[in-house]
Amino acid sequence: MQTGSPSLPQVAALIGEPARASMLTALMAGKALTATELALAADISCQTASSHLAKLVGAGLLQVLKQGRHKYFRLRDGQVAGLIETMLNLSISLLPVNIRTGPPDPALRRARICYDHLAGELGVRLYQGLQQAEFIDERDAQASVTEKGKAFFQEKGCDLSALERRKRPLCRACLDWSERSHHLAGSLGQWLLEDILTRDWARRQPDSRVVLLSPTGEKALYRNYPLAKQ
Amino acid sequence: MQTGSPSLPQVAALIGEPARASMLTALMAGKALTATELALAADISCQTASSHLAKLVGAGLLQVLKQGRHKYFRLRDGQVAGLIETMLNLSISLLPVNIRTGPPDPALRRARICYDHLAGELGVRLYQGLQQAEFIDERDAQASVTEKGKAFFQEKGCDLSALERRKRPLCRACLDWSERSHHLAGSLGQWLLEDILTRDWARRQPDSRVVLLSPTGEKALYRNYPLAKQ
DNA sequence: TTAATGCTTCGATGGGCATCGAACTATGCA
DNA sequence: TGCATAGTTCGATGCCCATCGAAGCATTAA
């Protein structure tokens, strides 16, 4: 399938089909998934999944990677992920005020992956802590790293100048789905999540967006990074 | 119609219907429109429009204002407008690179309204000019007003401290649909457009997003604000 | 009151598309 | 070579929903 040039309603309609929306949100975890995994996630047969996936790839929302007899699908880039997150945010804010509970799973509220960076309560507290420590400066709901912050992150082993050379913005404030407040996105946000995972402070729960901190990992996180109070 | 709590696919599906998408983009001009006007914009009968509008209002995407026998509809808020603009941008960036022509109407490419601020070639050049003059500082694709800029805007009659007291961010970089580059959004962007209109340098073309500059208005704009070269 | 305008409700029609069974291709494994 | 698994194509089915004609309600103007 080669749709060519999807217009606004076409893109929206692609996301608007429940099965496809399930697949897309499943891919929000940032991992590439196979066609069958996505069929399971959306609770449909794999024939149906195949046709949906062909449409999503044809429109350019998904990238596909063939590996042996498997086909791995992932979101095309952060822009697509950003759109999904924006829509999630909007659909939350459309809810009547008193029912805004956020995701039902408490672990998901606590810490989860938003495409490639940390979201949830911990993500928000980390972002606020970085601000309070004046490592990050937020003006007009936009963020940048301060001189003090540059020193801090470099000391943590982050090659900021390498990150800055990328096309992607270093530091972006991403509105949190469950917390209704910002967390850190951009390439620095990505680096931070990777740092937390490679130091083995936390593990990703398989097949979900949940990030699970070990008790020692949690302590280490508190020692190494400034977190705002609850 | 009282949908109550629209989920992500529901929101997307609402936008995904071509007629509804036409109405929503018509409302991107920021003006409130009546049901019949929207029916015309979407090229459908008013019965059909009525049912579409009921759904959009029920989901909370539109606000409705009853005035005599007329019903005025407008986008609920900037968040909804932001989503539409995000989707427009994405659908543009999904196009094959060599066909990215932007809107067909040249006047629309030159200057148009993006919800409540100026977009198009002039919007982009204005934003870039403000940066070059160091009135606005952009880091990591995010903008803030410099001290120099504050003095400049205050001299132009803009009560910046009043704008800053609002919840809305003062200064936001909004990715331009046709130019693939940023223009100024946020409350300062809104003020700037209003300033241009109240000084009568430009007029809005009825029933469209086009902003039409008079010859003298264009000169005045060049005199009063820094515009980047073509 | 009557007529005109703006909008809505109801009901019938039709088209688009998601769905899955069945059959098929492609890859990997033994 | 044969079997299992991953994914696709085709065709038939059925549902959802956009559409509009006709009739109805509400508001304004005369």
pLDDT in tens, A97-139: 555 555 567 888 899 988 888 988 999 999 999 999 999 987 6
The whole-number pLDDT of residue B141 equals 53
Predicted confidence (pLDDT) per residue in B76-99, tens digit? 988 899 899 889 888 888 876 555
The answer on pLDDT for A228 being more than 50 is yes
Q: Are A204 and A108 in contact (CB under 8 A)?
A: no
The whole-number pLDDT of residue B201 equals 94
The whole-number pLDDT of residue B167 equals 63
Instruction: Indicate the pLDDT class of residue B214, thresholds 50, 70 and 90.
Output: very high
Smallest Cα distance from B215 to chain A, Å: 34
Touching check for B167 and chain A: CB below 8 Å?
A: no
How many helices (H) and strands (E) would you count in chain B? 11, 11
Angle, CA of B67, B72 and B76, to the nearest 5° = 125
From chain B, the residues in CB contact with A83 under 8 A are 86-87, 90
Which chain C nucleotides are covered by protein, judged by CB under 7 A? Answer: 5-10, 17-23, 26-28
User: Cβ–Cβ of B11/A91 closer than 8 Å?
Assistant: yes
Q: Which nucleotide, over all strands, has the C1' atom closest to the CA of A48?
A: C19
**Best of B27, B85, B139, B163 to disrupt the A interface by mutation (most A CBs within 10 Å)?**
B139
What domains appear along chain B, each with residue ranges and CATH number? 8-76 (1.10.10.10), 98-224 (no CATH)
Smallest Cα distance from B177 to chain A, Å: 12
Instruction: Indicate the pLDDT class of residue A3, thresholds 50, 70 and 90.
Output: very low
State what percent of residues in chain A have pLDDT above 70: 90
CB count in 10 Å sphere of residue A41? 18
The answer on pLDDT for B209 being more than 50 is yes
The whole-number pLDDT of residue B138 equals 78
State what percent of residues in chain A have pLDDT above 90: 51
Q: Considering only the beta carbons, identify the residue of B6, B25, B142 that sits closest to A8.
A: B25
Touching check for A12 and chain B: CB below 8 Å?
A: yes
Instruction: Indicate the pLDDT class of residue A141, thresholds 50, 70 and 90.
Output: low
Q: Are A9 and B18 in contact (CB under 8 A)?
A: yes
Query: What residues are paired with A62 via a beta bridge?
Result: A75
Touching check for B141 and chain A: CB below 8 Å?
A: yes
Touching check for A1 and chain B: CB below 8 Å?
A: no
